[in-house]
Amino acid sequence: MTDLPPLELGPMPVGRPMTTVDEQLVRAPLERIFRLAAEVERWPALLPHYRYVRFLERRSDGGGIVEMSASRPFGVVRWPTWWKSRMRVHPLGGPVPPSVRFAHIEGVTTGMEVEWSFQAVAGGTHVRIVHVWEGPGWSKAGESAATLVIGPVFVHGIASRTLAGLAAHAERGLVTAGGT
């Protein structure tokens, strides 16, 4: 950890042309799935579609500036993706509900906002990942690319695999470095 304060990303924006939602009931305690989601640096060891995750700057909440790369499979072909984000972790027991927020600052998805939210429910934890974005700066063609291809094919394709993979680890009771 570091003494640098958490990054302030503000609330999730609404009304963006591209919105994707991936959600799942994870049959595990909120603490366990939250820790797996917040410990992004471990994702490549847990998720075969993640190529790497590197912190370029760490903050006191476990967030910071993070560089990530994942592959989107298309049959036998794996299309590599890359982005850099500002990351904020709202911890368990804090003044706001637990969440992990990202704001993409480099890569094709610059300007995309992401929020992982967690809610304890009967039988486990409801996890919801929301991505919102104006699209790349290619005029109206960028908005169409975001809503017709990038969001449903790439963002959903990677986010749904990430959530399913972390859920499977949480449900098996994986013990993480954070102790859950």
Residue 40, domain CATH = 3.30.530.20
The reported pLDDT for the residue numbered 1 is 53
Q: How crowded is residue 104: how many other Cβ atoms within 10 Å of its Cβ?
A: 19
- Domain range for residue 131? 18-171
Low-confidence ranges of the chain (pLDDT < 70): 1, 73-77, 138-142, 148-149, 151-153, 174-180
The reported pLDDT for the residue numbered 180 is 43
Task: Evaluate whether residue 61 is within a structural domain.
Answer: yes
Task: Evaluate whether residue 5 is within a structural domain.
Answer: no
The reported pLDDT for the residue numbered 138 is 63
Structure tokens at 124: 């486990």
Burial class (CB in 10 A: 0-12, 13-18, 19+), 38: buried
Nearest C-alpha neighbor of 16 from the set 115, 87, 83: 115
Task: Evaluate whether residue 10 is within a structural domain.
Answer: no
Number of domains, the chain: 1
The reported pLDDT for the residue numbered 6 is 96
Residues near 30 by beta carbon (within 8 Å), at least 6 away in sequence = 92, 98, 118, 119, 120, 125
Cα distances (angstroms) measured from residue 134 to each of 113, 138, 166: 10, 10, 28
Residues near 163 by beta carbon (within 8 Å), at least 6 away in sequence = 22, 23, 24, 127, 129
The reported pLDDT for the residue numbered 74 is 67
Task: Evaluate whether residue 92 is within a structural domain.
Answer: yes
Task: Evaluate whether residue 8 is within a structural domain.
Answer: no
Distance CA 1, CA 60 (A): 6
Task: Evaluate whether residue 54 is within a structural domain.
Answer: yes
The reported pLDDT for the residue numbered 176 is 47
Pairing of the two strands 99-106 and 64-74: unpaired
